Amino acid sequence: MNDKQKAIVLILLVAVLGGATSTITKIGLAGIPPLSFAFIRFLIAGVVVFPFLLKTNFLKDLKQLIPFSLLGTINIAFFILGIKMTTATIGQLLYAGVPLLTAIFLFVLFRERLTIKKGIGITIGFIGVTLVTLLPIVEKGTKFSGDLLGNMLIGMGVISWALYMAYSKKKLESFSPLVVTSAFIWVTCFALLPLSLTDLIAYPNWWQNLTFSGVLSLGYVSIVSTVLVYLLNQYAIKHGGSVLASMQFYLFPVFAYLSAFLLLGEQLTLGLVVGGTLALLGVYIATKK
C-alpha cells in the first residue's frame, strides 16, 4: 500500500469516526455550557494521550508548537459556539471549505501548486458548500440551512483550521503525529480553562442537571472525535499531504446527515442534497487516478 492509498484509508476512517461529531456535540450541549463542554473534552483527551508521551520530549517540543497549535484552538472555540446555534449537518458542511482554503494558504505561504485534477475537485466541492452557506440569506432569514450567525462563527473556525492544516505538513517534518496532536490537545485545554470559568456565572451549578446522554456525548467527543480523529488526521497529512487530507471534510456531510437524521430528527432539504452531492463529486475527482 503506497502513501496515497494509506492517506485515502485514513481519510475514510476520519470521516466515519468524525462525521457524527456535530450531532453528538449538540446532544451534550443540551445540558452542558459550550465552553465548559469544550474544556472538559480536551482535558479528558489530554489525560488519554498523556501516558503515550512519557517516553518523548514532549515538554521541550510543546514550546515550539504552541503558536501553531493555537490555530487549532481558535477553530475549536468558534465551532463550539457556532454549532449550538446552527444545525449539526450544516456544521459539517461548512467545513467542506477547508480543502480550498488549505490549498490557497499552501500556495500563498509555501508556493505549493495544485494539480488541475485536484483543483477541479476542490472547486466543485466548494461550490456545493457555498450554496448551502448562502441559502439563509437567499431565503431571507429562514432556517433552511441553519442559523446565519452560527454559520458565520463556524466559518471563522474553518479559516483557522485551514491554516492549521497548511502548516501541519511542515511541522510533521520535525515532529511525530502523536506529538503534534498532543500539543494541540493540551494547548487547547489550557486556553479554554479561563474561558470555561465564565460559565460558572452564566450557568451556575450547571453540573447538577448533567444527564447520562451528556456524559456519553463528552466521552465520544473526547476520545473518538478528539484523540482518534485528530491523530488519524495527522497521519493522513503525513502520508498524503495537507490538501488531500483536508478532503475528508467533503465526506463528513454524508455521515453528519445520517447521524443527525437518526439522533436529532433533522430533515434532508434540497439545499443539503445539492451541496452534499457536489461535495462528494469533488472528492471523487480529486482522488481519482
Which residues have a Cβ under 8 Å from the Cβ of 77 and sit 6 or more positions away?
A: 35, 38, 157, 191, 192, 195
Amino acid type, 154: I
pLDDT number for residue 138: 58
Q: How far apart are CA 271 and CA 104, in angstroms?
A: 26
pLDDT number for residue 287: 66
Successive 10-residue mean pLDDT values, the chain, 289 residues: 82 85 84 92 96 91 94 90 76 78 91 83 78 56 65 91 94 95 97 91 89 94 95 93 86 71 68 74 72
The C-alpha cell at 142 is 429562514
Domain that holds residue 76: 3-287
Our count of domains for the chain comes to: 1
pLDDT number for residue 216: 94
Which residues have a Cβ under 8 Å from the Cβ of 82 and sit 6 or more positions away?
A: 91, 149, 150, 151, 152, 153, 154, 155, 157
Phi and psi at residue 146, to the nearest 5°: 95, -175
pLDDT number for residue 206: 92
458548500: which residue's cell?
129
Neighbours of 119 (CB within 10 A): 16
Neighbours of 81 (CB within 10 A): 18
